[in-house]
Amino acid sequence: MKATKVLALLVCALLLAVTVQSAHAEKVIKVGHATPETDAMHLAWVFFKEKVEARTNGDIRVEIYPNAALGNDRELYEAVMLGDVTCCSGSSSPLAAFVPDLFVLDVPFTFPSREAVWKALDGPLGQALDKKMAAKGIVNLGYWENGFRNITNNIRPIREAKDLEGIKLRTMENPIHMAAWKALGANPTPMSFGEVFTALQQGTVDGQENPYALIYNCKFFEVQKYISNTRHIFTSYIPVINKEFLDDLSDEEREIILTTGKEMRDYQRNLAVELEDKCRKGILDSGIEFADLTPEERSTFRIAIEPALEMAEERVSPETIEIFRNTVLK
């Protein structure tokens, strides 16, 4: 009888050990973002999930929560810093509330092309910003394509800076953006992204500004009369992972995450450009009036640079400002 009890105890102990070991072996990466499943952001995380799970033989499992199921951009970035969510991606602007040096990316009319953006963000400027993020407990997995932002509204076509006079424009809660819009004569109105469609529909605001993909996917063109190709700000998406989680992985697992992150970056950028072209066509096919600005017309908006840059300099470290001036404004 005693031998039977001892054997039973040994079996239970063995089962418990196996259970604990199995639970420890499987690590879960919880990913949150605020865009729909059709957006390149979500598809990039699906790419990441498939690659990571395959390369770790299922030891790391990736769960993706789109459509702001875990919170908006700002809430998600904070959750990743706290370790409540493992990964997230969103616009750089809300992240700047926690990593102020990112405000430098919000100075409008500074990047003439995508090539100029990637030269800066894949180079010294991006590396400097990565260090600032790491100091806050998050690791950047690679700057993503969000596209240049363009203005839609219900008042008039926006072709020159003077056309913005008096227009109530929804913006992110970002002081650099707001300083720029005020300099251009608009009335910037901060508002949560989830409230924008209804606000446009009800006339709470006259217009908004976003990349083509979001304007199309969120159907803003259905409640707006005009769209202008202002290309005023390139706001990168930034996918991040909790640094403590990453540091706790084995060297092999960590290398898989970082390598897959670089591949995800390239995948997302290429896919986003393809989708942007399709979304732009879809918006114009809807019948919305389109203003394609000439270089001369676009140059009238550059009066917004100085007040925005002055405000950025109050928040951004001198070393990052110097890199920005030497690599972007030179």
Instruction: Tell me the DSSP string of 59-120.
Output: SEEEEEE-TTTT--HHHHHHHHHHTSSSEEEEEHHHHTTTSGGGGGGG-SS---SHHHHHHH
Residues 212, 146 contacting (CB under 8 angstroms): no
Beta bridge partners of 92: none
CATH code of the domain made up of 26-103+111-146+236-274: 3.40.190.170
Read off the pLDDT of residues 41-72 as tens digits, 9 standing for 90 and up. 999 999 999 999 999 999 999 999 999 999 99
Higher pLDDT, 24 or 113: 113
> Residue 10: pLDDT above 70?
no
Q: How does pLDDT run across 237-275, given as a tens digit for each residue? A: 999 999 999 999 999 999 999 999 999 999 999 999 998
- Under CATH, which number does the domain 150-234+279-327 receive? 3.40.190.170
Q: What is the mean pLDDT of residues 131-136?
A: 98
Residue 224 has pLDDT above 80, yes or no: yes
Please, which pLDDT band fits residue 24 given cuts at 50, 70 and 90?
Answer: very low
pLDDT at residue 195, rounded to an integer: 94
Q: Looking at residues 109-120, what average pLDDT do you find?
A: 92
- For residue 211, pLDDT over 50 is answered with yes
C-beta of residue 144 within 8 angstroms of C-beta of residue 239:
yes
Rounded to whole angstroms, what are the CA distances from 28 to 7, 32, 75, 99, 256? 34, 13, 20, 26, 14
**Amino acid symbol at 149:** R
In this prediction, residue 39 carries a pLDDT of: 87
The stretch 311-318 carries a mean pLDDT of 95
Domain segments of the chain as ranges = 26-103+111-146+236-274, 150-234+279-327
Percent residues over pLDDT 90 in the chain: 83
**Residue count of the chain:** 330
DSSP letter (8 states) at residue 234: B
pLDDT tier for residue 209 given thresholds of 50, 70 and 90: very high
Please give the pLDDT value at position 2: 52
Work out the pLDDT band at 143, boundaries 50, 70, 90.
Answer: very high
Provide the pLDDT for residue 26.
80
Looking at residue 172, what is its pLDDT?
82
The answer to whether domain 26-103+111-146+236-274 and domain 150-234+279-327 are alike in fold is yes
Rounded distance between C-alpha atoms, residue 32 and residue 90, angstroms: 9
Q: What is the pLDDT of residue 184?
A: 96
Residue 5: CB atoms within 10 A of its CB come to 9
% of the chain with per-residue pLDDT over 70: 92
When pLDDT is averaged across residues 125-129 and rounded to a whole number, the result is 98
Supply the pLDDT for residue 4.
55
Distance CA 12, CA 298 (A): 73
The pLDDT score that the predictor gives to residue 5 is 55
Q: What mean pLDDT comes out for the span 292-300?
A: 93
List, for residues 146-198, the tens digit of each pLDDT value: 999 999 999 999 999 999 999 999 998 788 999 999 999 999 999 988 899 99
What is the reported pLDDT for 174? 82
User: Does the pLDDT value for residue 14 go beyond 80?
Assistant: no
